[in-house]
Amino acid sequence: MAPSVLLLLGLLSSTGSLPPPRTSFLLNSADRPLVLFSLPDVHNTTTLLLSDDGSTLYVGARDAILSLDVSQSDIIHLKKKVEWSPSESEINECQLKGKNAEVDCPNFVRVLQPINSTHLYACGSYAYTPHDAYIDAESFSMVQQDEAKGRCPFSPFQRNTAITVDGELFTATTTDLRGTKPQISRHFSKDGRPDVSQDSSLSLLHEPVFVSSSLDSSDRKLYFFFSEVGKEFSFVDELRIARVAQVCKDDVGGRSTLQKKWTSFAKAPLLCQSHRQLPFNVLQDVFTLQPPEGTDASETLFYAAFTSQWSSGPESAVCVFKLQDVRAAFTESYRTFNLLTHQWSPQLGKHSYLGKCGLDNASDSELAEVKRSFLTSNSVKPVGVGPLAVSSGQQYSRVAAMRTQAADGKQYTVLFLLTESGFLHKVVLLNRGAHIIEEIQVFTQPQLVKNIILSPSKGPHPSKAAFEDRIRHSRCD
C-alpha cells in the first residue's frame, strides 16, 4: 500500500470515540416504555411542529397533516387530520415529468410553521408542483391553498429548511424541477418591503444540502446551516464544506444594484476537526440551544452533527459553536471572487460594510464589492479544542440538546442523537467527556428517523428531568 494511502487511513481513524452505552433498552422494554403513535394510512411523517404550550404536536405527512394531543405522558391521541393530496390529473401531469406516481407524485409536506397567532403555514411537494396552504389552528381546517414555487422543494427527497419570524417566511430550498437551483428567500414580507432572494448573476451556493435555520433576534439576522461543494479549493474535486450563511431579517436589497436581492448574504465555513485528523465536513443536523434566561444572546449554542465524506464506515462527530463566534466570522476578513479567473483570493483591504445590515442606501461600488466578497476568510471554530463527541461505530442523522438539573443539583447538557439504524442515544456531557447513558430502540426494523422534538418534563421535580424528558419522533416509512 502506498505511503500516502497509509497516511490517509491514519488520519481517518478516530481517537477518543464514545464508549458503549451504559444502558440499552430494546423496544417495548418495561423499564423504559416508549409511547408510539401510528395510523395505517399515514406515512412519511417527517415534518414536526410542537405548539407553544407543548400539548399539541402537528405532523406533516404524505397527503395529510395531523394534529396530535401529546398533553399526557403515556398516550398520544389523534385530534384532527387534514387530507391534502393532488388530484388524479395532477398525478398524471407529474408522471409526464418522468416521475413515479407512487414514489414521487404524492404531496409530501416539507414545511410546517406558525404564520400568526391563529394559523399554520404548510408547503408540500404536491406532485412535483409545490403548493402551500394555510390551516386554521383552532378548527384544524385548510382555508386556502396555492402554488408555491420557491418555498419548498419539488422533490420529496431534497432537504430544505424554513423559519417564520413576525409573519414572514424565510426558506432555503431549491426552486426548479431538477433541484439544481438553490435559493434563500424571504416571502410574505411586511411593512411594504419587497420579497428578497439571492442574486443569480453569481453562483453563491454549490449543490447545498440545507439542514437547519435559526434566528438571532437581538442582531436581527437569520442563519442557515448546510453543506456544499467548496469551490474555493480548486485542487480537490467535489470537496464538501460545512457552512453557515447569514442574511439580515429586514434586508430590502439595493437601489439599482442588487434590487430585491440580499445585500447582507455571506457564508462562512464551520470547522469540526479532531487533532491531526481530517475534518468532519458533511453537516447532518444543527440544533439551536438558547442560553439560560437572563444570559446574553451571544451565548446561544449550535450543536451540530457531522459525518465525513472520507469515512469508509459509519463515523460521526458532534461539535458545538457559539453565536458570538458565528457573529465574529462575519465581521472579519473576506475572500473576493474574481469574475475573470473564477478563483477566490484574499480581499485587499477591509470593507466595514461587508456582512452588515442596512445597505439599502449603499453605493453601487459598495454593492458590487458585496456581490464579489461573500465568503469569509476565517472558519467558525467550535467551543473547546474539537468535537464534544466522536463515534466510530454510529452515523448520527439528527441532534437535539437540553439543559437539565440532575439529582446532585448541578446543571448538565444532554444530547439526543438519532442513529441511521433507528436508535436514540442519550448522551450527557461531563467534564471528563461525553457518555452515552441510554440507548433506546425506537422501531423494530432498522430505519432512519427523520426528526426529533424535545418536550421537557412539566413535572414538579426538575431533578428528574434528565430521565423524564418526553421524546417526540417520527419516521419515514
**pLDDT tens digits, one per residue of 153-196:** 999 999 999 999 999 999 999 999 999 999 999 999 999 999 99
Q: How far apart are CA 456 and CA 288, in angstroms?
A: 15
pLDDT in tens, 8-44: 333 344 445 888 888 888 888 888 888 888 899 999 9
Q: Which three cell numbers stand for residue 296?
A: 446574553
- Put simply, whether the predicted model's pTM sits higher than 0.85 gets the answer yes
Q: Which domains does the chain have, with CATH numbers?
A: 42-391 (2.130.10.10)
Contact of 155 with 125, CB cutoff 8 Å: yes
Contacts of 174 (CB under 8 A, 6+ apart): 153, 154, 155, 158, 160, 180, 181, 182, 183
Q: What residues of the chain score a pLDDT lower than 70?
A: 1-16, 235-236, 456-477
User: Can you spell out the DSSP letters for 233-255?
Assistant: -TTSTT-EEEEEEEEETT--B-S
Residue 310 in 3-state DSSP?
A: coil
Exposure of 444 in the CB half-sphere (CA atoms within 13 A): 2
* 401 backbone φψ class: left, alpha, beta (φ>0; ψ -120 to 50): beta
The pLDDT score that the predictor gives to residue 36 is 85
Q: Identify the DSSP state of 152.
A: B
